[in-house]
Structure 1
Amino acid sequence: MKTLKSFIKYYAPYKFPLFMDLFCACVISVIDISFPLILNLCTHHIFVHSSIKSILPYMFIGLFILYVIRALCKYYVSCQGHIMGAKMERDMRKDLFEQYQKLSFRYYDENNTGIMMSRITTDLFDISEFAHHGPENLFISFLKITGSFVILLWIYWPLALILLTVTIGMGVFSFSYNKKMRKTFDDNRKKIGHVNAAVQDSLSGIRVVQSFTNEEIELEKFKEANEKFLDSKRNNYKAMGTFQAGNNFFQGMLYTCVLVFGGIFILYGNFNVINLATFALYIGIFISPIEVLVELTEMFQKGISGFRRFEEIVSLIPDIQDEKDAIELKDVKGDIEFSHVSFQYNKDETILEDVCLSIPSGKKLALVGPSGSGKSTLCSLIPRFYDVNKGSIQIDGVDIRNYTLKSLRQAIGLVQQDVYLFTGTIAENIAYGNEMASFEEIVEAAKLANIHDFIMSLPEGYQTFVGERGTRLSGGQKQRISIARVFLKNPKILILDEATSALDNESERIIQKSLDHLSKGRTCITIAHRLSTIQNADEILVVDQEGIKEKGNHEELLKKNGIYAKYYRLQFEKSI
């Protein structure tokens, strides 16, 4: 019931089209129910009357008008009803996408993108179909079954009661099979999600797959997910087959009862052949909505199982969100203070423990150390991609949890090693740093990032399409576009997460020049493996899994002849 209540609220903006849909469905049902009754009356009274010739034209006009009205109502139900369902699907997809945007990095660390895609596409299509057809079919079926039964009672109640007994048996059978069908539909949803996950994973890494000639391995992984989905569908169709076969048997029993008991009542009672024919016609009307209800049961199970998966996500409370009294971060100076900060991704793995660190406004701090020592994690805590487990992080003297997420993240610029470019043009990707920026501002940001000349050398300039994830550009070109984004954003705090580690020496020199320009007048935190990029830092921290091991500027750390000096000598020897 809770799930149904959540589902019904999506009808709220569409009360009028829903009312009109049900009204039109009611008109269609009344007209369908009326025809056998009209035929019965004609057979008993009009067709035996001497003035039939003068009545027939009026009968034609009346029925013509009736079926024009039915056709118009059918159009509304088929067209506007489906549009209403599509709008509800749009609203749900919007809510789900908004929720995906709110969820923290922790959620994405634990969940597969392909399964998330399945929830926003396949699941919601089935929900849309049920949203439209559910109320309409239920209403039509109720009217037709009730109306037909009332008329059958009026024509000859003993036979009508026999048909009611068979219908009750059908209802008990259908209800008992509902649970089994629901389980199979839920399993279908999970299995198609795994298929989508396998496809998404393989296609996203297609360059790696082909470079290692591992197409057969990926095919085996896909085949496994695909076969499991087939097994799930097989179980689903077995349940559906039993369900539909059972209902089909009961439908046949309705016709059988009409013929057998109708014959007995004609033989021994006051039942006549005309009434038997009318009963047979009404059985068609009576069975039609029952068939619709059978299909609706399948649609209901698909829709509700999909909506449950939808509800699982939208009901999640994001673990990182604004406090009730959160304030805007304005006039940013850029002072950052770590006070006894501890962090762990899970209970068994502590990444940072009791970290105390002060970064004054406008200073440049560099972090050096082996992979897995928590450098990137430390930086991810500042924009609250994750929240600390203990201690606090302050910007300009205020705990970052007291700032709104939007204003906090607007004050921070992030340049990463793995650059993500969106499908679109170069101009659109640079403008991602500030969607309100003018073209002149985009060009200026590109110049500051040393990428303008390259862009202008392209046939389409700033309107050049970059391809999916920027596959048409080199690593250095993508990196400079990402730097141009940050210039356009113009944040007071800058985080450089191994921004040049994957580049060749020439690209590194060009980009390092851009980064030096970018970091002027900003509080800057740099994570680096190449020590040549951080020699001008105001302070360098050498960290490992146990915490901060050394602290000082480049010259001071070389004089200590410790871990940093060792790293420096190793890199210098390699460069020679």
Structure 2
Amino acid sequence: MRLGVSRLRFANEKIEMPRVTKKMLTRIVSYFLPYWTKMLLVTVIIITNAILGLVPPILIKHIIDSALPEKDLTQLGMLIIFSIGVTVILGLLQVAQAYLNVWIAKHIILNMKNQMYAHLQKMSINFYTAAKPGEIITRITSDIDGIQDIFNTTVVSALTSMVVLISTAVVLIGMNWKLAVVGMIILPTFIIPTRKVGKVRWKIAKESQEKISDLNQMVQESFSISGALLSKIFTKEKAELESFKKINHEVINLQIKESVVGRWFRMTITTFIAVGPMLIYFYGGYLFIKGELSIGSIVAFVALLGRLYAPVSQLSNIHIDITRSLALFQRIFDYLDKRAEIENKPGAIELEEVQGKVEFNKVHFSYTKSVKVLDDISFSVEPGMMIALVGSSGVGKTTITNLIPRLYEVNQGKITIDDLDIRDVTLESLRNNIGVVMQEPYLFNATIEENLRYGKNDATEQEMIAACKAAYIHDFIMNLPDKYQTVVGNRGIKLSGGEKQRVSIARVILKDPRIIILDEATSSLDSVSEKFIQKALVPLLKDRTSFVIAHRLSTVLAADQIFVIENGTIAESGRHEELIRKNGLYRKIYDTQFNDNSEICKGG
């Protein structure tokens, strides 16, 4: 059911062949150029193979026309030994070529995956909000893995076919030009229908890749911890299985269609390939009767004819392979060409020795042009101050905190840290000085130690223990069977919410940033866990500039300054006592919590 939109989208999409441009071809070639020496060696092997491949049929001619009629066993033995030796050498060269083919293709894939991964890391949160994880996985795995087939079946195969075709044609014409012409008469029938077949195959290949993306998306969603829990709670296993079967069946059908498209065309080619030797036997027999040709020449001619037809058959399909290759490269380039919205500006400087002064100056922001989220936000925060952001859900609290580490870019105005515009400093140095504790902490499916080291990779054991003690989680960890080597499971599922939160706080303490952003970590925890978290936050917030999206009254009371956000603007600001006396929006929020014993607000 959830894949219906994707199917409808593709059904309405106009399928167009990829445009072959000089820029595109140059870009493709650039991935092969670093390995030009090995590709040159492959070319030499291909040429050597093509020449040596001509030898056995010629030796057969001499065996039939010379060694056997003359009853010369020495000559016969030498010709057979020579033929076996050439065959062994051909086998060794083919093994070497296969190794080089795989080596080159795998290293091109290695570089492209590294490039894609590095590029995706630069994409803004906007990109990940809109993109489907399954689509991303497909682009970086199966799409790029397809490059190996492109290299082996398109580049190497085309080069091999051309060399074999030319060398074989030269030898055939040299042996008897009349017989060569007869053998080549049917060659045009191999080429004529290929363009139409290529278009059909490309269309199916493109649709197949789209369906594989949908399949990957479904697997990613279904077997994430959240998806698995949801399907079990709502008993949707059977429905999910049926959906998976349906899309999987569609993928298989498309792949079958792609593999068999043009089979009637290939059957026709196969028929003509069988007719060729018969023509040679007929016309060659005529020339033999007239005394113009020997029997050995006829046999050698038929043997060489297979070497002529095979590359022509492969080259007749080269348009299909090139079209499919271009479709893959086009999908890869589509992602590589997506612009990273947030990048280091030329000459960006390092943000060092941060004091923690943060200032918003007439900041405007919107996720889309039609919906304004923040409107003319201005404030100044001195180093070490704690700022509480309160307001109803969706008014822009989280957006304000996301702008500080440049997860999004402001539309107008500027944000400064220690009087430096954050757009003038490197992203790495900016974010190294900012720590974020999210409302729903994310832990990797790894050990506690590995999750902690994400905050500081070179942290010593003493530093980790000190951070965990400060976060009130060390004693809990030491009671686990594997202590710091305990694997926490997917998204930390083996830990409780409070335990995960304290591990994430310890991770930020290890990072030791000057600015802290806290999406109130206790809003969904029980009172015992909340007590521990509140204690853990004391060393984290001490002497640091902090922005807290407040859900609890205790957080608000501790703040040096409170910003009440409404409709993307700062409606009120001040300390708790001042805002209570104003009897405005803050007072209404405060009275709601006090009277109803509820949270000040949820979300942001």
Contact residue 198 and residue 319 of structure 2 kept, 8 A: yes
- Which moves more between the two structures, 155-164 or 27-36? 155-164
Q: Specify every segment of 5 or more residues in structure 2 that has no aligned partner in the other structure, as ranges.
A: 1-21, 599-604
- Which moves more between the two structures, 537-546 or 565-574? 565-574
Contact residue 190 and residue 316 of structure 2 kept, 8 A: no
* AA of the residue aligned to 1:108: Y
1:460-495 alpha-carbon deviations (Å, 9 max, x no partner) = 110111112211111111111111111111111110
Which of 137, 142, 151 is the equivalent residue of 2:171? 151
Give 1:374-385 correspondences, 5 Å limit.
374-385=396-407
Give 1:372-451 correspondences, 5 Å limit.
372-451=394-473
* AA of the residue aligned to 1:135: V
Q: Measure, in 1, the Cα distance between the counterparts of 2:359 and 2:317.
A: 62
- Indicate whether 1:338 and 2:375 are aligned: no
- Which moves more between the two structures, 233-242 or 433-442? 233-242
Give 1:84-163 correspondences, 5 Å limit.
84-163=104-183
- Indicate whether 1:352 and 2:374 are aligned: yes
Structure 1 pair 281/65, CA: closer, same or farther in 2 (3 Å)?
closer
Question: 1:63 is matched with which residue?
Answer: 83
1:85-105 alpha-carbon deviations (Å, 9 max, x no partner) = 112211111111111111111
Give 1:288-327 correspondences, 5 Å limit.
288-293=310-315, 299-327=321-349
Shift of 1:291: 4.5
Residue 60 of structure 2 aligns to a residue in which SS?
Answer: helix
Give 1:12-27 correspondences, 5 Å limit.
12-27=33-48
Shift of 1:335: 1.1
Question: 2:204 is matched with which residue?
Answer: 184
Q: Measure, in 2, the Cα distance between the counterparts of 1:328 and 1:398.
A: 11
1:62-120 alpha-carbon deviations (Å, 9 max, x no partner) = 33432332222122122232122112211111111111111111111111011100111
Question: 1:520 is matched with which residue?
Answer: 542
Contact residue 127 and residue 304 of structure 1 kept, 8 A: no
Shift of 1:327: 0.7
Structure 1 pair 66/259, CA: closer, same or farther in 2 (3 Å)?
closer
* AA of the residue aligned to 1:330: E
Shift of 1:235: 4.5
Q: Measure, in 2, the Cα distance between the counterparts of 1:91 and 1:194.
A: 26
Shift of 1:6: 1.9
- Indicate whether 1:571 and 2:593 are aligned: yes
* AA of the residue aligned to 2:66: H
1:280-320 alpha-carbon deviations (Å, 9 max, x no partner) = 21122223334444676555444432222111112223111
Q: Measure, in 1, the Cα distance between the counterparts of 2:518 and 2:348.
A: 27
Q: Measure, in 1, the Cα distance between the counterparts of 2:356 and 2:160.
A: 65
Shift of 1:186: 1.8
Contact residue 244 and residue 294 of structure 1 kept, 8 A: no
1:240-260 alpha-carbon deviations (Å, 9 max, x no partner) = 434533443443443454345
Contact residue 59 and residue 79 of structure 2 kept, 8 A: no
Shift of 1:231: 5.2
Structure 1 pair 178/353, CA: closer, same or farther in 2 (3 Å)?
same
Give 1:491-570 correspondences, 5 Å limit.
491-570=513-592
State TM-score, norm by structure 2.
0.89
Q: Measure, in 2, the Cα distance between the counterparts of 1:266 and 1:531.
A: 107
Question: 1:461 is matched with which residue?
Answer: 483
Residue 345 of structure 1 aligns to a residue in which SS?
Answer: coil
Contact residue 189 and residue 269 of structure 2 kept, 8 A: no
Contact residue 67 and residue 76 of structure 2 kept, 8 A: no
Shift of 1:46: 3.3
Percent identity between the two aligned chains: 34
Q: Measure, in 2, the Cα distance between the counterparts of 1:387 and 1:399.
A: 12
* AA of the residue aligned to 2:45: C
Give 1:245-256 correspondences, 5 Å limit.
245-256=267-278
Which of 490, 495, 506 is the equivalent residue of 2:512? 490
- Which moves more between the two structures, 134-143 or 187-196? 134-143
- Indicate whether 1:279 and 2:301 are aligned: yes
Q: Give the RMSD, CA atoms, in angstroms.
A: 2.3
State TM-score, norm by structure 1.
0.94
Q: Measure, in 2, the Cα distance between the counterparts of 1:75 and 1:7.
A: 26
| Runs of 4+ with >6 A deviation | none
1:120-156 alpha-carbon deviations (Å, 9 max, x no partner) = 1111221123224433222221121111111221222
